[in-house]
């Protein structure tokens, strides 16, 4: 059968393409400007997103003798890096992560043979002992980006920071389409339970991850109420799954927590063996959230056990009137001005806790 050749030719219509391109660009620019104006009217301001790439940049900045902050959002909000630098003689590296379990980060530093510095660990027992779930996943995601991040991702992060520092609408926690759709609350159904809502973006972030609570969330109002009353469902453990016998589930959880206690002590011992130091800090929390945390993870439980097993010093804010006098506007974090004052008052206790063992014994004992 003879072969035949087919020639396809697509004709480009004779249209004013240059004018069309400029029209599309103008419409897109106007739409972006309108969205930016709308977001600013909602109270948003330009600030960086706390991405895994930004965290990985700070992890790469850790030097052998660095002071490193790990933990969850209280370690991020309540410690002012400028004040710590003045008080401790060097600027700490901020590695605390919102809504995270700090143990994977502690383990990573303990396994880094080149690191022999100081770790200030924000200890929230319910999150630090979490055997899995979002708190652990948040830390593992950041560590994965630190280990496997590409040069293209680093370049993208630099471009993103340049835009985020100028535009208020680039808030990945609140203003993406997926997050806006998630704000449509769907009622629970028998086989589809809706998780608690996460708090909105209510802090600013610098390139070194120095976090500051916004003025709007530090003062009474709708935003503060939304944040404040969101903590209770987030800090309330979910019920055991109905497809696992309750005794089996509780036994498994107990074994996982016991394994975590041992792993924490082993990581601290590994760090201290090569000259590193670790101090655990319990930061202020107030209101209804304090009642919930005190009931679910009493001080005589995980806090005391971790300090006893690891041999590391601990600073519990309630032991010191100058640290216990702060009020958290939304029950869980300090306002920007209070974080500076709290850090000033905390520095002497950090110096005492991080002093050589003989010096610590000669000073006032810290209650576990």
Contact between residue 62 and residue 93 where contact means Cβ atoms under 8 Å apart: yes
User: For residues 95 and 107, what is the distance between their CA atoms, to the nearest angstrom?
Assistant: 13
Crossing angle for the helix pair 134-148 and 103-111, to the nearest 10 degrees = 30
pLDDT in tens, 11-69: 888 889 899 999 999 999 999 999 999 999 988 889 999 999 999 999 999 999 999 99
So what's the pLDDT on residue 133? Answer: 87
How many angstroms separate the CA atoms of 78 and 340, rounded?
A: 8
In this structure, are residues 62 and 87 in contact, taking their beta carbons and an 8 Å threshold? no
The helix/strand/coil state of 157 is helix
- CA dist., res. 76 & res. 95, Å (int): 8
DSSP category for residue 192: B
Residue 282 CB contacts under 8 Å (≥ 6 apart), including other chains: 123, 124, 299, 303, 314, 315, 316, 317, 318
Whether the model clears a pTM of 0.85, i.e. scores above it, the answer is yes
| Pair of tokens at residue 235 | 């800090």
DSSP three-state, residue 42: coil
State yes or no: pLDDT of 121 exceeds 90: yes
What does the pLDDT look like over 21-31, one tens digit per residue? 999 999 999 99
Phi-psi region for residue 109, left (φ > 0), alpha (ψ -120 to 50) or beta? alpha
| Gap between the Cα atoms of 94 and 209, Å rounded | 6
Ranges of beta strands (E only) in 128-247 are 203-205, 211-213
Residue 197 pLDDT > 80: no
CA gyration radius for the chain?
25
Model pLDDT, residue 363: 47
Q: 328 with 65: CB under 8 angstroms?
A: no
Q: Please tell me the predicted confidence (pLDDT) of residue 236.
A: 81
Region 112-135: what's the mean pLDDT? 93
The mean of the pLDDT values for the chain is: 89
């Amino acid at each position: 059968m003879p072969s035949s050749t087919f020639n396809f030719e697509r004709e480009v219509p004779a249209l004013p393409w240059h004018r069309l391109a400029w029209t599309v660009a103008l419409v897109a620019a106007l739409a972006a400007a309108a969205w930016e104006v709308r977001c600013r009217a909602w109270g948003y301001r330009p600030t960086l997103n706390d991405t895994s790439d930004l965290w990985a940049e700070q992890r790469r900045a850790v030097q052998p003798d660095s002071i490193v902050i790990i933990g969850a959002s209280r370690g991020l909000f309540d410690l002012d890096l400028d004040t710590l630098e003045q008080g401790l003689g060097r600027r700490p590296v901020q590695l605390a992560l919102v809504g995270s379990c700090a143990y994977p980060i502690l383990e990573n530093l303990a396994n880094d043979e080149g690191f022999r510095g100081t770790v200030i660990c924000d200890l929230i027992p319910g999150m630090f002992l979490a055997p899995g779930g979002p708190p652990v996943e948040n830390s593992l995601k950041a560590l994965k980006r630190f280990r496997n991040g590409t040069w293209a991702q680093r370049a993208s992060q630099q471009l993103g920071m340049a835009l985020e520092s100028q535009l208020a609408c680039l808030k990945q926690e609140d203003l993406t389409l997926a997050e806006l759709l998630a704000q449509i609350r769907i009622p629970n159904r028998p086989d589809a339970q809706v998780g608690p809502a996460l708090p909105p973006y209510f802090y600013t972030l610098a390139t070194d991850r120095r976090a500051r609570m916004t003025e709007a969330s530090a003062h009474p109002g709708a935003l503060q109420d939304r944040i404040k009353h969101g903590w209770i469902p987030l800090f309330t453990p979910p019920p055991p799954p109905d497809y696992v016998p309750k005794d089996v589930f509780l036994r498994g959880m107990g074994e996982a927590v016991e394994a975590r206690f041992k792993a924490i002590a082993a990581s601290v011992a590994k760090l201290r063996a090569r000259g590193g130091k670790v101090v655990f800090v319990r930061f202020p929390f107030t209101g209804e959230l304090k009642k919930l945390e005190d009931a679910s993870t009493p001080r005589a439980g995980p806090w005391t056990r971790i300090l006893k097993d690891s041999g590391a010093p601990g600073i519990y804010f309630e032991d010191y009137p100058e640290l216990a006098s702060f009020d958290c506007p939304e029950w869980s974090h300090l306002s920007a001005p209070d974080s500076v004052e709290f850090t000033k008052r905390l520095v002497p206790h950090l110096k005492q806790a991080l002093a050589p063992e003989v010096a610590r014994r000669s000073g006032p004992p810290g209650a576990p």
